[in-house]
Homo-oligomer: A and B are copies of this chain.
Amino acid sequence: MSPPDDRAEEARRHAERFQRVRAAHQTEVAEDYVELIAQLIDETGEARVVDLAGWLGVTNATVNNTIQRLQRDGLVTTKPYRSIFLTDAGRDLAVESRKRHDIVREFLMALGVDAETADIDAEGIEHHVSDATLEAFATYLARSTNTATGRRRS
């Protein structure tokens, strides 16, 4: 009498995985925005709606909507017609996301993927990489960097 039970259990765990992916989806946009806002502030001194729109490939109206939501969720602050700032929470998320993004991108390149493709895929993959997997990526990266600089592999 275990086959049906096993099957039900398998279904339950499958469902759990999907729920996690759906949850990850809900933070993707937020991560992309704060990551970009941090970058813009860093490189140009401020983050404006029009710049975000240009870098994200959406309209100003869409950016505005999203910024409202991010403000509601405590990740950014802004005032009408003024530029956008990160809260502490927003900055933390930005740093996290950026680190994740960079590791994924460099990992893909270390694996032999061309830079342009690595850029594209990293953008999608970064939001779905657990800490454990990120760790594995970083480990591989460290090893392949050592190899590239001429050191021996054990």
Which residues in A have some Cβ–Cβ distance to B below 8 Å?
A: 8, 11-21, 24-25, 32, 51, 54-58, 108, 111-114, 117-121, 123-125, 127-130, 132-133, 136-137, 139-140
Contact = CB atoms under 8 A, between A and B. Distances in A.
> Interface SS of chain A: helix, strand, loop or mixed?
helix
A22 to B, nearest CB: 8
A15 B57 CA distance: 4
A129 B120 contact: no
B111 A17 contact: no
A40 B105 CA distance: 35
Given A11-B54, A11-B55, A54-B15, A117 B140 contact: no
The complex is assembled from copies of this chain, and their number is 2
Given A14-B55, A57-B16, A136 B111 contact: yes
A86 B51 CA distance: 44
Contacts of A55: 11, 14-15, 18
A133 B124 CA distance: 12
B130 A17 contact: no
Contact of A112 (B21, B57, B58, B139): B139
Contacts of A18: 32, 55-58, 123
A121 B118 CA distance: 18
7 contacts: A13-B119, A19-B57, A20-B124, A111-B137, A114-B132, A121-B129, A121-B130
